Structure 1
């Protein structure tokens, strides 16, 4: 059997639909019919029963499928493995993430990446908010999905994968919890949790500012090291914290309220990696991540699909 015959036969056996088979194989529907007819003449028996409504494998067709499919899939895997090795994609890739929904995105992309590049091994780990670029620079991870802004000369910022409305997490008993939205100016009337550790000043100012846009001081509360500390501190009434709106789905619990900002820019998450250690594996993961996000409607819609 020729390669195209095998592909068309196995695809039709899976789809049981000539139109979908033609679309997946990248040929016309007539070519699918011609190829199947040629194959059945060579074998001397019908492989499919078909009429205007249904397509079904015959007993001989099912026997043929069971016989050739495992071998064909193995050939595909070995070709993919050899291709990946030739491109330098095989080996270990360590990917970091900063929060629950970025972790979900990374894990879904990683599953596809592993299937597409059988010679790779992926390790996924969370990066703490108090040292967002430390693991990258130490070589503990190869790339990560993290919050913008990033202004680091030694790091390359890749595509934005997630863009979410900014919200404020606060105790449900707080007076602003009953509002439909809040303003950046409202932060002057609250205590804002901040971040400590090896965090760039411009990042802190963007996510936990000391002043409102008109210059009013914002009371500063306890500094956090781990993201999980935010939930406990807010529940205890120690302060409030800007978060992604997706946090309501991932971190929502009794006693917490998530109120959207009406005048704050979105929180965006992008891939980032050390410029000096960019590899074929990193580039392949970045490209697949971009394709995955685009297939799910783009950065503003992807969280709703994962």
Structure 2
């Protein structure tokens, strides 16, 4: 019991140290932590006494890290991250999820990409079995919030409240059309050149915001399809395009050679798909991190995806944590977090 209490006490002291370091102000740090300023100062002083070094230089106007504080801050953050990972694993054990990671993948993900993702996760050797389900973004979001899914690969834009994200990856879309179409003779196709053809899209219920963003982008580029047809299966979509009456937007990696069909890039690259791994905020552990890294590597290597500069603060293959600012303990103002449709900004 004593060891357990000492460990919890140390974690709380480290949280205080890191928060003061990030805020450079005891008053703001106390408000962020939901405590009074005197107890916060006492905790920092007790930690300094325990470590035998001064962590902060304090004046009436500012608080600054000492050299010792600068060196110890990364170690403190690492310990807090490992503590959160430990708690996440414990939660999964309590909920019966030990040894199993339930992951969602969108139906439009190419087969070789799925295979590369699975292989990458196996190489991580987390000791956790991966259970993959084919689910639309809307289905994944509902399952994540119901705790029926541990992690997923979602399309942006979508509602992100309560979720943490890995890197946001972008894949440019081109147009799949019948080789008999006039635009098929062009090396690069402007959207406006698609004329009165129909457009084959996934059903809107699967990813409403993405569906609307694609149609809005087409309208801005001067093209409105004569009609929108819905299809999910590759063969069904290709059949509609082969009829010569319709087109579809797909990444180059999904444009396999099919007699009678051609794929062309779009002028100005106005359309894209954006994805990221997503999981409930605060539930990150080694298995979730391995899945996010496997997703990033698979989409980059198999489909030429690039890290979206507006959706993530870093470009590494690891799972950077972009948590909802409304989540408990985030320390920021309570505002919903969304990827804005047709723009590359966080709101």
In the superposition, the TM-score normalised over structure 2's length comes to 0.50
Instruction: Choose from 91, 115, 121 the match for 2:99.
Output: 91
Q: CA-to-partner distance for each residue in 1:158-178, whole Å, 9 max, x for gaps?
A: 2134x4332101112222122
> How far off is 1:120 after superposition?
0.8
Aligned match of 2:288: 282
Aligned match of 2:129: 121
Q: Cα gap change, 1:235/1:295 in structure 2, threshold over 3 Å: closer, same or farther?
A: closer
- Structure 2 distance, partners of 1:178, 1:295, is 29
Asked if the contact 2:152/2:277 (under 8 Å) is kept, the reply is yes
In the superposition, the TM-score normalised over structure 1's length comes to 0.56
Q: Cα gap change, 1:246/1:116 in structure 2, threshold over 3 Å: closer, same or farther?
A: closer
Q: Cα gap change, 1:289/1:144 in structure 2, threshold over 3 Å: closer, same or farther?
A: same
What's the secondary structure of 1:193's corresponding residue? strand
- Structure 2 distance, partners of 1:119, 1:242, is 38
Asked if the contact 2:88/2:282 (under 8 Å) is kept, the reply is no
Aligned match of 1:175: 182
Instruction: Choose from 227, 241, 244 the match for 1:237.
Output: 244
- Structure 2 distance, partners of 1:271, 1:193, is 24
Aligned match of 1:248: 255
2:115 is the counterpart of 1:107: yes
What's the secondary structure of 2:167's corresponding residue? strand
Q: Cα gap change, 1:118/1:103 in structure 2, threshold over 3 Å: closer, same or farther?
A: same
Quick check: which has more Rg, 1 or 2? Answer: 1
Q: Cα gap change, 1:238/1:216 in structure 2, threshold over 3 Å: closer, same or farther?
A: closer
Instruction: Choose from 143, 153, 158 the match for 1:150.
Output: 158
> How far off is 1:182 after superposition?
0.9
Aligned match of 1:257: 262
When the two chains are superposed, the root-mean-square deviation of aligned CA atoms in Å is: 3.8
> How far off is 1:126 after superposition?
2.7
Asked if the contact 1:184/1:213 (under 8 Å) is kept, the reply is no
What's the secondary structure of 1:147's corresponding residue? strand
Instruction: Choose from 218, 226, 238 the match for 1:219.
Output: 226
2:278 is the counterpart of 1:270: no
- Structure 2 distance, partners of 1:243, 1:297, is 11
> How far off is 1:111 after superposition?
2.8
Q: Cα gap change, 1:104/1:140 in structure 2, threshold over 3 Å: closer, same or farther?
A: farther
Structure 2: tracts of 5 or more residues without a match:
1-84, 93-97, 308-347
2:210 is the counterpart of 1:203: yes
> How far off is 1:213 after superposition?
1.5
Asked if the contact 1:128/1:225 (under 8 Å) is kept, the reply is no
Greater Cα offset, 164-173 or 292-301: 292-301
Instruction: Choose from 278, 300, 305 the match for 1:299.
Output: 305
Q: Cα gap change, 1:132/1:230 in structure 2, threshold over 3 Å: closer, same or farther?
A: farther
What's the secondary structure of 2:187's corresponding residue? coil
